Amino acid sequence: MDVETLRYLFSAIAQSAAAFVALVAVFAVFRLQAAHSEINEKYKELEQFLYDYFDKTEKNTKYMSKKSMKNELKECIKIEKYKEEGKKRQDEINTAEKKY
């Protein structure tokens, strides 16, 4: 093979590899943007839930930090778990009473 042919061959290989890397980067950026918008959407839903919840309980969320909102959400989840456990136990008691 001629030197010029090899030069064109290696140049084309390098350009193809660069184009492939750029294509992969475009898809990666697209996926990151989609994930970012999904996270923002979920955060807004969570924030709205907290505002609605605390408005009902007459707490002022306007000046709450994200950390304190997160702690309050954990408390809400605990309360909901206790409610679910209470319902399950009540159902168990009702079924046991029906048997006897």
Q: How many domains does the chain have?
A: 2
Cα gap 74→83, rounded to integer Å: 14
User: Token pair 């309360």 is at which residue?
Assistant: 79
Cα gap 54→51, rounded to integer Å: 5
Residue 37 and residue 70 in one domain: no
Residue 8 and residue 37 in one domain: yes
Residue 57 and residue 70 in one domain: no
Nearest to 47 by CA among 70, 28, 27, 31: 70
pTM for this prediction: 0.45
Residues 6+ apart with CB under 8 A from 50: 61, 69, 72, 73
Residue 100 and residue 73 in one domain: yes
Domain extent, residue 79, equals 65-100
Per-residue pLDDT of the chain (100 residues; tens, 9 = 90+): 789 999 999 999 999 999 999 999 999 999 999 999 888 888 888 777 777 776 665 555 555 666 676 777 777 777 777 777 778 777 777 777 776 6
